[in-house]
Structure 1
Amino acid sequence: MSAPASPVTPARHRVVLWGTGVVGSMVAAELVDHPVFELVGVGVSNPDKVGRDVADVCGLPGGSTGILCTDDVDALIALAPDALVHYGPTAAKADDNIRLISAFLRAGIDVCSTAMTPWVWPGMKQNPAPWIDPITAACEEGGASCFTTGIDPGFANDLFPLTLMGLCGRVDSVRASELLDYTDYEGDYEDEMGIGRPPEFTALLEIPDLLIMAWGATVPMMAAAAGIELDDITTTWEKWVTPTDRPSAKGVVKAGEVAAIRFTINGIYQGREVISLEHVNRIGLDAAPEWPAGSQDDVYRVDIEGSPSISQETSFRFTDGSGRAPAVAGCLATGMRALNAVPSVRDLPAGWVTALDLPLIPGVGTIR
């Protein structure tokens, strides 16, 4: 019997990180001593961060990395990184994202991003041509690839349900749910979801076309993966008004204001709902007690009715004593999905990349 092969030292990938908000800062901390990825540059859009060491901006241990944050895109491209990991703003700033990402792609630099969630499935008909065509052209010009992930839409609503669907002989329906307490969450939700607003306020995502475009891309993706074409995509939206004041990380949600929302995005096939995404987001675990909740607090859940029927819950937690909320742990998982995809994205042909194009990504270098 021959001796077992020696472990292969993984190739190093030089990356530029753009965006030092909640997600980008946590990913930067993971990059400091990562054996597979070398952080070579950091881009920011906030002028107050320009010229400061990334350790200072992101609160990294050690005091200094020697890498200064910059808003100079050309200077970052000149570093000739293997990839850009992009944790920029949402599609609300689509023009800025497209301009930045296109520049890297045209230079032949692959991009893995969490920002433009409609790009999770570029073929979704709700994607406007000005959001798609410039990236298609930039990929062709530079021979580079562009992959977008995210926690919703993203791996919780594509990788998880699609993997479980592959265990079935028949799927009558599949539902992927986010069931989170937002009490300690500091992300944007007032105008987007209407939490902390009067019930008569119309949140941006309450508008069906905006909701489908912003967070519904995985619905047609799952349909395509299953070999069907949906007849329609519909939405539902519910609000729960709190009878008492509720404290949160962003202030007090007052009595009479919306303290929980529940919405669904539903893929219709042959007259029935076959694919559904569901969000239940609360300020306080006791809010909207009649709405779905997990067997644990703060979970992502997949329910499949079929042969066999399957239920799965996934929770994200920090166990380092930092006290950071589960929603923040989910944000880190979001960022790491994009980073860990870099080696596989680099191996793919130029153009758009979706979750359906990627192999299993086990996270090379994570055990060390």
Structure 2
Amino acid sequence: MITALQIGLGPLGQQIGRYISEKTSIGTVAAVDIDKELKGVDFGKLINGSPSDILIENSVESALQKLKEKPDVAIITTVSSIKKLESQIEEVAQHGIPIVSTCEELAFPWEENPGSSKNIEAICKKYKVACLGTGVNPGFLMDYLPSVLSSVCKNIDSILVERIQDATPRRIPFQRKIGAGLDLKAFKSKEDEGTLRHVGLKESVYFLAKSLGFELDEVTENLTPVIAESNLKTPSMEIQKGDARGVQQISQGYKNGRCKIEMHFKAAVGEPRSYDKITVKGIPSFTSEIDTGINGDIATCAITINAVKSILKAAPGLHTMATIRVPGYLN
């Protein structure tokens, strides 16, 4: 059985812990979170109410001291910022433990964060471990999946990727991250702070461009609120007419003045229809659509776990979904 160290026990980390507890080929053997109130808490009781022999620690060092053998892999679900992740990666890598992280900026970091990319690559090579950033988006739906679909094309002129989702069933931290329930002044304030947006859209554009061999001259991104046309009420919040119910972001990659890659991301409470859609213009031209879309929370947890067996076979260094073996279901 693959043994895992989990780092970061917010809603996503807890959900990953629950999913792992249902599997036979992987198991969590240690858990870490910096929240002082979680130190000494039974990990099993936290994730599903069932007692376990794992007590949560506040540091990787203290968690590993309680184990007879080091875990096979570390799953890090802590931050979206790659700069904040650097020290966490080194803390794990120095013990020779490969890493899978849900950090959005890690999915394809070389263009937006070249310094951090270089540092993490050096850390991984120094300690001879592989590291991967993945998730449903970025990491799969808007970058890896269209790159796979492109393999049936003789020529590609352009690709449009759309992810439209009703955020009503998503976890509350996600709803807050997209600005649901904020008045437009508060929305603009958080946008200016950089705390309100889907993280990773440009990374997805660069990932796909790399896969297609497109050398882009410019990548743009813009963000606008999705405004409620009537009052909305959900189990987690009430949204007034005229306030934001979510966010829409569009990122475009240009070459010689022509848009070659375009990505539309829209997540809003009360969105009437969810779908994931890829439109390829080329030879052949085609459209592939997933009706109702893929649930982001479920899929992010699942792909993070399922990518473990691929990262265990990967060469030391910083990887993307395009440089590891094709992942599949891990039972």
Q: TM-score, normalised by structure 2?
A: 0.89
* Structure 2 equivalent of residue 83 of structure 1: 73
* Structure 2 equivalent of residue 42 of structure 1: 31
Name the SS of the counterpart of 1:304 in structure 2.
strand
What are the Cα deviations for residues 186-206 of structure 1, in whole angstroms up to 9, with x where unaligned? 333577443322334426557
164-173 vs 74-83, greater mean Cα deviation? 74-83
Letter of the structure 2 residue corresponding to residue 310 of structure 1: F
Name the SS of the counterpart of 2:14 in structure 1.
helix
The whole-number CA distance in structure 1 between the counterparts of 2:307 and 2:199 is: 24
* Structure 2 equivalent of residue 27 of structure 1: 16
The whole-number CA distance in structure 2 between the counterparts of 1:308 and 1:177 is: 19
Letter of the structure 1 residue corresponding to residue 80 of structure 2: T
Q: 2:102 aligns with which of 111, 114, 127?
A: 114
The whole-number CA distance in structure 2 between the counterparts of 1:273 and 1:207 is: 28
Listed as ranges, the gaps of 5+ residues in structure 1 are 1-11, 287-296, 318-325
The whole-number CA distance in structure 1 between the counterparts of 2:270 and 2:22 is: 37
Q: 1:279 aligns with which of 265, 286, 298?
A: 265
* Structure 1 equivalent of residue 151 of structure 2: 166
The whole-number CA distance in structure 2 between the counterparts of 1:191 and 1:58 is: 22
How much is the aligned-residue C-alpha RMSD, in angstroms? Answer: 2.6
Closer, same or farther in 2 for the Cα pair 1:211/1:172, shift >3 Å? Answer: farther
User: Is the aligned partner of 1:261 residue 2:247?
Assistant: yes
233-242 vs 257-266, greater mean Cα deviation? 233-242
Letter of the structure 1 residue corresponding to residue 140 of structure 2: F
Name the SS of the counterpart of 1:220 in structure 2.
helix
Report the Cα offset of residue 212 of structure 1.
Answer: 9.4
Report the Cα offset of residue 180 of structure 1.
Answer: 0.8
CA contact (8 A) 2:307 2:328 kept: no
- Percent sequence identity is 21
Q: TM-score, normalised by structure 1?
A: 0.80
What are the Cα deviations for residues 313-346 of structure 1, in whole angstroms up to 9, with x where unaligned? 33689xxxxxxxx74xx21221221222122212
* Structure 2 equivalent of residue 99 of structure 1: 87
Report the Cα offset of residue 214 of structure 1.
Answer: 4.0
347-356 vs 197-206, greater mean Cα deviation? 197-206
User: Is the aligned partner of 1:252 residue 2:209?
Assistant: no
Report the Cα offset of residue 128 of structure 1.
Answer: 5.3
* Structure 2 equivalent of residue 71 of structure 1: 58
What are the Cα deviations for residues 26-57 of structure 1, in whole angstroms up to 9, with x where unaligned? 22122224222122111122222221111211
* Structure 2 equivalent of residue 142 of structure 1: 127
Report the Cα offset of residue 240 of structure 1.
Answer: 3.5
* Structure 2 equivalent of residue 51 of structure 1: 40
Letter of the structure 2 residue corresponding to residue 334 of structure 1: T
